Amino acid sequence: MSFGSFDQGDEGEAMSDINMTPMIDVMLVLLVIFIITAPLLTGSLKLDLPKVDAPAAQQAPTVLNVGLRKDGQLYLADQTITLAQLTARFAAAAQQSPKTEVHISADAAVPYGDVARVMGAAQNAGLSRIGLITQPPAGNRPGAASAP
């Protein structure tokens, strides 16, 4: 008998142990596949729905795009407008749907007070969904290479 030898005895002897790891791996993969596909199989129902004359549900909320230039000019959907007209338009939009969104695009040089007046007019009209539109810096745009 020598040290460091890989000889473990009689080579003609058959191995009687079964390696369970590959079988368990395959079963887990099949289980994951069934968990993912089972909800997809029952997702659609074949129904004969009744016909009704009703207005279609509104899919997307109404959006009012407001622009402010650094010279103080207001725009609503690329048309010039005064603050009084914009306030009236906000009130009309709030009457139609209180879920109307207001998107404000302001020039970087616009004073904060001008933006706050537009936001206040929207909130006073009953519109609470107000967003400020910005652009990412040139180095942080998606897909742009980052500087080292």
The residue ranking higher by pLDDT, 140 or 77, is 77
Residue 25 has pLDDT above 90, yes or no: yes
Average pLDDT over residues 17-29: 89
The percent of residues above 70 in pLDDT, for the chain, comes to 74
Q: Where are the beta strands (DSSP E) in 13-145?
A: 63-68, 74-76, 79-81, 101-106, 129-132
User: Which pLDDT belongs to residue 57?
Assistant: 63
How does pLDDT run across 64-107, given as a tens digit for each residue? 888 888 888 888 888 888 989 989 998 998 888 888 889 888 88
- Over residues 126-142, the mean pLDDT reads 77
How large is the greatest C-alpha to C-alpha distance in the chain, in angstroms?
102
pLDDT score of 9 = 58
Kindly list the structural domains of the chain, giving each domain's residue range(s) and its CATH number in brackets, ordered by start.
63-135 (3.30.420.270)
pLDDT value for 29:
95
**pLDDT score, position 42:** 67
Lowest mean pLDDT among 7-11, 19-23, 98-102: 7-11
* Helix locations, 9-65, DSSP H: 21-41
Q: Is the pTM value of this prediction over 0.75?
A: no
Which residues, at least 6 apart from 138, have a Cβ–Cβ distance to it below 8 Å?
A: 144
The radius of gyration of the chain's CA atoms, rounded to the nearest angstrom, is 33
Coil, helix or strand for 124? Answer: helix
- Condensed to tens digits (0 to 9), the pLDDT of residues 39-61 reads 777 656 666 667 777 776 656 66
